[in-house]
Amino acid sequence: MEKPRNVIVRKLTKSEKKVLQRYTPNELAAQRLFLADQEAVQSIPTEAPGWVYNKTAADSFRCNTPPMDDKYWKDIGRRTNLITMNPGQVNFRYNSFGNKKKFEKIAFKRASKAFQEAKEAFLQDLSVYGDSYLFTEAFLYKLSAKRAFLAHQVLLESHAKYEVIFPHPDFIRSVHSYWKKSGVVAPRVSTGLLMTSVATQICEEVHLYGFWPFHSDRNNRRLTEHYYDNALPSDAHKISEEFKQLQRLFLVSAATQIYEEVHLYGFWPFHSDRNNTCLTEHYFDDTVPTKNHNVPDEFKIHNAGVLRLKTNACQRTQL
């Protein structure tokens, strides 16, 4: 991933403000705040060069600014191209840079000890990620927008090399809508699933690390929630349901990478065929499937157009 160059920053015209107002959703309460904050408005590039991707390179995305201490590098590696930061971290890690927990106006008391300590800690924490992008969802809620703009302004004033990405609200809503329709019924998808969605759109191959949702591995060894702590996931996420969807993606991906076309026999989950003829569970018996499996959901895989389901009579010459 290469950094865009020659980004032009200037004051927005009235017509450009109208465009921002059109695409910044009212329901997220960030529109009025964003347009009223001239420092925030003027800091947004009006000519978006986009990202330039080198298809031979392996880009590394890290979620929620995780620590990269020496003791972890053997397992997590050193490369970082993009990191995500929840706007809430601006409060509980950096005390909103000296502002109150629920502040009304974005302001810096630059001479205060609280601001200086928070700024130093913020820049020090980001330094381990090198020359990477900082991805933060600014338009979730009004307070999220304020906190995200605080972090952005600190980086601008510090002449830091990090470039901040505020994802478009329409994109976030589309991701949430897609996964909800796929079975992840939760107030919000996790950052991990959101970034997986991003990666699948811009990368030819995606590898996931740390998405195991259980507290023990296959050898029954105890695991913590993250590699660096044991903080439980938010109630806003359904991690177990997300894991099922990631397994489904893996199954579909594995099938398409190994074979150009896959035909399945005996995967019909209903007890009658299309002619309403009664069927047994298997061709040799009528044993009911175990509760450990969700056969109807497995059957849905062929609807993606990846696995072609054969429902006609099995021809010996085809096997």
237 as an active site residue: the answer is yes
Asked if 296 and 268 count as a contact pair (C-beta separation under 8 A), the reply is no
CB-CB contact of 255 with 189 (8 Å) = no
Catalytic residue among 159, 176, 215, 237: 237
Which positions are annotated as active-site residues?
A: 237
